[in-house]
Structure 1
Amino acid sequence: MTLQNTAAGIRLMILTTLIFSVQDAVSRHLAAEFNVVMVIMIRYWFFAAFVIAVAARSAGGVRAAAATRQPGLQIFRGVLLAAQICIMVLGFVLLGLVEAHAVFACYPLLIAALAGPVLGEKLGWRRWAAIGVGFVGILVILRPGFTVFAPEALVPLAGAFCFALYGLLTRYVARQDSAETSFFWTGVAGMVVLTPPGLWLWEPMDAAGWGWMAFLCVSASLGHFCLIKAYEIAEASAIQPFAYFQLVFASLLGVVLFGETLEPMTVLGTTIVVSAGLFTLFRTRQRAERGA
């Protein structure tokens, strides 16, 4: 049995967000030079190999990890995450890290809003109010009806929707499958679905590109390893709020490496969205503790 250590879990979650932020910056760089689907396909080749290696070392091996009572849902989850990553990397290229992550920050609110129809969970008026406030924050970021509104901002919004649905389906399949099984299908299904279009859209990559690609693959596996360890030693509800550090790190990288700017309205809207998201996480944790 793994001992619970919330402080260590928080540190690991923050480290995970830093790794994923660096990974997003590298993805943006590569996707600006090469085809997005090809870049994500190569990343998934490495990710799938990592997943299979982890499964092989676990009790029962690969066969036990692959055993699922709901293969259709597991495959759909994997495909959904692969699509979400492609969408978000495209969003990084179109909008930059700052704007894309500002919009993507609404995904916890989408999870809360969709928890009813997907999982049958009931939301109180406080969480519905927080969701409404959060989407006001999204409108502040997008500023529809103004000349500064960029239709490209709908790309990371679609990515947030895909990730929210992926998260809910992950909770749904966990009712019958283990975390190891879900992790296995996440990597393998994504690799399988991305390989045909990725090979079709293949572009020659120079030595520098392959160097960045290798860094991306290694950092992706390291990030997932840290995330797994974080959830092993601490409760998800305790460390999940610290996932917002990715927004901070990604914004800093966008400003420093790519010359992006922090617009006042973007900062205001993001603050509203994150505050609403933290409130929904807090209310969800309270509800879980009362139901325990």
Structure 2
Amino acid sequence: MNDRKNGYVYTLLAITIFAIQDGISKHLGGAYPPVFISMIRFWAFAAFVVVMATRSKGGLRAAVRTKRPVIQILRGVGLAVQIVIVITSFSTVGLAHSQAILSAGPLFVALLSMPLLGERVGWRRWTAIAVGFAGVLLILKPERGSFEPSLLLPLSGAAMFALYVIGTRLANRDDSSTTSFFYTGVAGAVAITFVGPFYWTQLAPVDWIWMLALCMTGIASHYCLIRAYDLLDAASVQPLTYLQLVMSAIIAVVIFGETLNLNMIAGSVIVVGAGIFTIWRESVVARRNREQT
């Protein structure tokens, strides 16, 4: 029971820190190139995963060893690109609106798991996916009579994160979670370093403090999430991650003065409900398949 309690504590800590991290990203993204911000963040993240790998069973050599090098590298590169898109979205679309659309990630995962993982999706999950995407359309519904192309940024971010999750599932069929975590940080850091220096910008002294806070929250949030998954199964952790949407919305309204319209609130409720059902149903099917084998 204590393990489960601690698992939920780590989950809530991770979600809270992720929301704070999003607020810092929005602040910095409004003044500096998102590629530059992401590069500094990935450097800190890469250092963290290397330290974690050296302390894991088998050490750094075991973490580097992979049977899926192409997928592992593509995962890291894809996540780096996705983070650049998300930070850009925070400054152009808004933190609350972006998070509302990004919450459709599990729906994309369920949709893409069929062609890419060969998974079967029953009518219940198909219904949840359809309802969830109806919620996304409600969030995207233009207020001024014309569609805003900038809304495609968070939508593409949600789709890219789903591809990252699918890639993780493929990689984990042959590689350990430690190896996948290692390549997420290192491959992403190496890839973005090829581009980031061209966007190097002199930070104001106070913003170096914010950049340090961004790196520290990135490390702390991932550590808490790792500990949460050590103590709880994914079906217990994933539905709680939707609380990040609520926390980010509070930060967006209170700190950045953003407004929440009715379409966004109603659409978010639909998307979150459909996403939670999809996650729950997926865990039920997975448990049934394990029992039958």
TM-score clears 0.5: yes
Show structure 1 runs of 5+ residues with no match: none
* SS in structure 2 of the partner of residue 33 of structure 1: coil
> What is the CA-CA distance between 1:228 and the residue it aligns to?
0.2
Q: Match of 1:60?
A: 58
Q: Which amino acid aligns with 1:244?
A: Y
Query: In structure 2, what is the Cα distance between the partners aligned to 1:62 and 1:227?
Result: 21
Q: Which amino acid aligns with 1:195?
A: T
Q: Which amino acid aligns with 1:55?
A: A
Note if 1:147 corresponds to 2:145.
Answer: yes
Q: How many residues align?
A: 290
Q: Match of 1:94?
A: 92
Aligned counterpart for 2:72 among listed residues 67, 71, 74:
74
* Per-residue deviation, residues 204-235 of structure 1 (Å, max 9, x unmatched): 11211111000000110000000000000111
* SS in structure 2 of the partner of residue 240 of structure 1: helix
Note if 1:183 corresponds to 2:181.
Answer: yes
- Determine if contact 1:6/1:235 at 8 Å carries over to the other structure: no
> What is the CA-CA distance between 1:5 and the residue it aligns to?
2.8
Query: In structure 2, what is the Cα distance between the partners aligned to 1:66 and 1:140?
Result: 44
Query: In structure 2, what is the Cα distance between the partners aligned to 1:73 and 1:235?
Result: 24
> What is the CA-CA distance between 1:188 and the residue it aligns to?
0.3
Query: In structure 1, what is the Cα distance between the partners aligned to 2:4 and 2:55?
Result: 26
Question: TM-score by structure 1 length?
Answer: 0.96
Counterparts of 1:98-117 in structure 2, within 5 Å, are 98-117=96-115
> What is the CA-CA distance between 1:145 and the residue it aligns to?
8.9
* Per-residue deviation, residues 26-65 of structure 1 (Å, max 9, x unmatched): 0111111111101110011111011111111222221111
> What is the CA-CA distance between 1:146 and the residue it aligns to?
5.4
Q: Which amino acid aligns with 1:169?
A: G
Counterparts of 1:111-150 in structure 2, within 5 Å, are 111-143=109-141, 147=145, 149-150=147-148
Q: Match of 2:210?
A: 212
Q: Which amino acid aligns with 1:70?
A: R
Q: Which amino acid aligns with 1:30?
A: L
> What is the CA-CA distance between 1:262 and the residue it aligns to?
1.1
Q: Match of 2:36?
A: 38
Aligned counterpart for 2:190 among listed residues 184, 192, 196:
192
Query: In structure 1, what is the Cα distance between the partners aligned to 2:147 and 2:259?
Result: 15
* Per-residue deviation, residues 72-104 of structure 1 (Å, max 9, x unmatched): 110000001111111011010011111000011
Query: In structure 2, what is the Cα distance between the partners aligned to 1:286 and 1:35?
Result: 43
Note if 1:278 corresponds to 2:276.
Answer: yes
Aligned counterpart for 1:159 among listed residues 153, 157, 160:
157
Query: In structure 1, what is the Cα distance between the partners aligned to 2:68 and 2:170?
Result: 10
Q: Which amino acid aligns with 1:53?
A: V
Q: Which amino acid aligns with 1:240?
A: Q
Q: Which moved more, 1:266-275 or 1:10-19?
A: 10-19
Runs of 4+ in structure 1 deviating by more than 4 angstroms, as ranges, are none
Query: In structure 2, what is the Cα distance between the partners aligned to 1:20 and 1:148?
Result: 32
Question: TM-score by structure 2 length?
Answer: 0.96
Q: Which amino acid aligns with 2:20?
A: V
Q: Match of 2:248?
A: 250
* Per-residue deviation, residues 171-197 of structure 1 (Å, max 9, x unmatched): 110000000000000000010011121
Computed over aligned residues only, the root mean square deviation of the Cα atoms, in angstroms, reads: 1.4
- Determine if contact 1:4/1:234 at 8 Å carries over to the other structure: no
Query: In structure 1, what is the Cα distance between the partners aligned to 2:203 and 2:162?
Result: 33
* Per-residue deviation, residues 209-266 of structure 1 (Å, max 9, x unmatched): 1110000001100000000000001111112100101101100000011000111110
Query: In structure 2, what is the Cα distance between the partners aligned to 1:241 and 1:182?
Result: 22
CA spacing shift, 1:283–1:148, aligned 2, 3 Å: same
- Determine if contact 1:6/1:238 at 8 Å carries over to the other structure: no
> What is the CA-CA distance between 1:150 and the residue it aligns to?
2.1
Query: In structure 2, what is the Cα distance between the partners aligned to 1:285 and 1:223?
Result: 24
* Identical counterparts, % of pairs: 45
